[in-house]
Every structure is written in C-alpha cells, then in structure tokens.
Structure 1
Amino acid sequence: MTRDIRDEQRGNPRFERGHAKLLELGDSGDAIFTALADVAPDMGRYVAEFVFGDLYGRGGLDDRQRQLVTLSLLTALGDTERQFAFHLNLALNAGVTPQEVVDALVHGLAFVGFPRTFNSLSTAKRVFAERGLLPVAPAPVAEAAAAG
C-alpha cells in the first residue's frame, strides 16, 4: 500500500502552508504527492514544505513574478518539460498572460539559446492549446526596433 504523505503531515505548519499555496495557485495538489508516492513519497513533502511553504512564503515577489522567474529558470536548465508545464499552469492561474509568458521566453533567447527557448515555447503552445488560449497575439514592436 502506498503511503499518503498528506495524511502523515497534518499539523506540520510548513507542509500545510505549502499545500495551501498549491491549492491557491489552482493545482489539485495531487500530482506532486502521487507522482512518486510508490518510490519516494517524501518528495511531495519536500516540494510542499520547501518550495511552496518556505520559498513562496518569502516577501519581495508576488505569485505572478515568482512564476515568470520559475519559467525562465526552467527554460535555462533545459530538459524540464513536465515541470515547465506544471509551473506554466500555475502561472496562468496566478494571472500571468500567455503573451507575458511568450515575451519572457523570447527575451531569454539571447541568454539561453534557440534550442531551450524553442523547447519551452513548444511546451507553452501545448499548454495554451489545452486551455483554449491559442492563438497568442504577437507582441507589439517597439518604435525604435521597428525603425531599425
């Protein structure tokens, strides 16, 4: 029988704060607890406590900003399609627009390169399609850039 770490962690303030943040951002909270429950059930607890309990509890950035930073960092890391899609859904739930996501990823092109940017944009396109958010309007071209 697989352990349900959520039952074991009732009363743990870090865990409860993190689980509440996951629910607030619109995730059912089940995915991080069930994905590895039969191999490493504590992974869900670590994510809930540290990432969503501690890091998201810090001041300085709001949830929208945190998600844009997270998407940018996952793009820079590469090979993070599952995590990117997960955080993209949280970003959209937090009020980040598809255009803001695309603009942030395209801006990162100069720093992380074409392959990683292309991969993240491809994952974003899939998530946008699943949520009925396509097409994404192109960003307006700044006057100075248009003038050449």
Structure 2
Amino acid sequence: MSDRFERGLAAIDRLAADHAAIFDPVADIAPDLSRYVAEFAFGDLYTRPGLEPPHRQLLTIAALAALGDVRPQLKFHVAGALNLGVEPATIVETLLHCLAYVGFPRTVNAVGAVREVFAARGLLPVGDQRPTA
C-alpha cells in the first residue's frame, strides 16, 4: 500500500471504527474506487495542514448538504464529527447556516440524515426543541 493510502486509512480510522461504510458498497464492482477515496480524499486532502479534523468534518457536512442525495456519506461524516468531539448542536448550527446557500429542501433532508445518526447514538433531543422567536 502507498503512503497516501496508509495516511488515508489513518484519517478514516479517526472518524470511524471500521472502513466498511467506505469500502463495502463498491468492493465487488470497483475496488479501486475505495483506494482513490482513501488516497486522495483522505490521504492527500484530509491530512493537509491548516484545518483541524473537526473543522474539516463541518465543512464536509456543509458540502454534502449542498450536494443532496448523498445520505450515506453525510451520515458517515456526521458520525465522524461526533467521534472527533464535535457537539451535536454545532452540527445542527452548521446546517442552519447552510439554509441561505443550500435551500430548504436540501437542508431539511440533511437534518433528517443527521437526526438518524443522533437518534442511533441516543443524542436526541438536541437543546431546546421550540422554535426561536
């Protein structure tokens, strides 16, 4: 394995207990795709200096919310953010900030995916559930 791949795996290990969410969906049809994700996205980009991993996770969550239709990846990165110590309220606030740029449908869908991750971890409710005036 290349140094880039090993750096990528180390970065992924900080986010998740196993690599199944990244490798399993493509293993039987495009195994090199997992290698590209590990080497480039995590080994090259994620490990660059200048941003701490929690900040990278929040940026990734915002970008995935903007893309839409990426529920598995969004859930992976929300779980990764929580594993790095990002507070649930910070993740929610990140998505609320996206509302003006991403739009209501994608933000609502992203919050739904986040809710699934929070619920699985027993993190609901998050803060005061009443709408603010």
Distance 1:48 1:30 in 2: 12
Which stretches of structure 1, 4 residues or more, deviate above 6 A after TM superposition?
Answer: none
Distance 1:49 1:33 in 2: 13
Amino acid at match of 1:83: Q
Conservation of the 8 A alpha-carbon contact between 2:21 and 2:76: no
Query: 2:4 — aligned with what?
Result: 14
Equivalent runs, 1:61-100 vs 2, <5 Å: 61-100=51-90
Output the TM-score relative to the length of structure 1. Answer: 0.84
Shift of 1:24: 2.0
Conservation of the 8 A alpha-carbon contact between 1:99 and 1:138: no
SS in 1 for 2:38: helix
Query: 2:103 — aligned with what?
Result: 113
Which protein has the bigger helix share?
Answer: 2
SS in 2 for 1:35: helix
Conservation of the 8 A alpha-carbon contact between 2:15 and 2:77: no
Distance 1:50 1:138 in 2: 40
Shift of 1:26: 2.8
Distance 1:30 1:125 in 2: 21
Shift of 1:137: 0.4
Conservation of the 8 A alpha-carbon contact between 1:68 and 1:101: yes
Amino acid at match of 1:58: R
Residue 58 (structure 2) pairs with residue 54 (structure 1): no
Candidates 14, 19, 23, aligned match of 1:29: 19
How many percent identity over aligned positions? 52
Distance 1:37 1:101 in 2: 30
Shift of 1:32: 1.6
Shift of 1:20: 1.1
Distance 2:66 2:57 in 1: 14
Query: 1:102 — aligned with what?
Result: 92
Output the TM-score relative to the length of structure 2. Answer: 0.93
Bigger Rg, structure 1 or 2: 1
State the structure with bigger RCO (CA 8 A, min sep 6), 1 or 2.
2
In structure 2, runs of 5+ residues without a counterpart are none
